[in-house]
Amino acid sequence: MRNVVYMAVLLIVANEIYQKPDMGLGVFMLVFTLSRQLQDITSKLLIGAAQFESDINYMKIFFDLKKLERENIDDTAELIENGDIKFENVNFSYPNSEKLVIKDLNLTIKSGEKIAIVGKNGSGKSTFVNLICGMYEPDSGVVKINDINIHNNLTAVRRSISVVFQDFGHYEATIRENITYMINVGMQVLKNYFN
């Protein structure tokens, strides 16, 4: 569409010059150059507006962080450096769903042990990790680290465990800028939570 408008402007100017030859080639070149610049500026404005619209969701999520309810923080909580992770009769379902994502899970991961969690999409892999991090609370059963229920020691758990999920939020920037921004935001959130 842009090219059609651009060509129409040039044809109108060419016709005017043909009708009035005293206008000269300079007028045509001036209109040609200005039309091209206007087309470039318009394109950049439209692309910028589209990018801004797509970034609004990221900005909304960022500002919604301030609205989240704060947890009670235990300032004396220490890092958990080593410890077995235990799932004891854990069941979990998402709100407004009767389907159990995790059903009667009993598992012990020994300190220093390396495991792989594999399964189909929707089989509960991310839910499993979220339960370990204390981001979700089981419907029943208990998740323990060092034989302590993680929900009785959330501050220590969250200070000790880091996770990067496959569907993390990212911004229209370089990988370096995304990582730098996420680290800065993460540090700010932690400061706000632990101060």
Give the pLDDT confidence score for residue 155 in this predicted structure.
Answer: 81
Q: Tokens 């569409």 label which residue?
A: 1
| Residue 148 main-chain phi, psi, to 5 deg | -115, 130
Give the pLDDT confidence score for residue 58 in this predicted structure.
Answer: 76
Instruction: Say if pTM beats, i.e. exceeds, 0.75.
Output: no
Residues in the chain: 195
| Domain assignments of the chain as residue spans, ordered by start | 2-67, 85-163, 167-195
- For the stretch 119-125, contacts whose Cβ atoms lie closer than 8 Å and that sit 24 or more positions apart, written own/partner, are 124/92
Give the pLDDT confidence score for residue 112 in this predicted structure.
Answer: 86
**77-108: pLDDT as tens digits:** 777 778 899 999 999 999 888 899 999 999 99
- For the stretch 10-18, contacts whose Cβ atoms lie closer than 8 Å and that sit 24 or more positions apart, written own/partner, are 10/35
Q: What does the alpha-carbon distance between residue 108 and residue 113 come to, in Å, rounded to a whole number? A: 10
What single string gives the DSSP state of each residue in 22-45? GGHHHHHHHHHHHHHHHHHHHHHH
Give the pLDDT confidence score for residue 109 in this predicted structure.
Answer: 93
**For 85-163, CATH number?**
3.40.50.300
Q: What does the alpha-carbon distance between residue 52 and residue 63 come to, in Å, rounded to a whole number? A: 16
- Dihedral of the alpha carbons of 184, 167, 85, 92, in degrees to the nearest 10: 130
Determine whether 157 is exposed, middle or buried from the number of CB atoms within 10 Å of its CB (0-12, 13-18, 19+): buried
Show the low-confidence residues of the chain (pLDDT under 70).
1-3, 5-6, 28, 71-75, 164-171, 186-195
Contact 102, 124 (CB under 8 A): yes
Q: What does the alpha-carbon distance between residue 65 and residue 78 come to, in Å, rounded to a whole number? A: 25
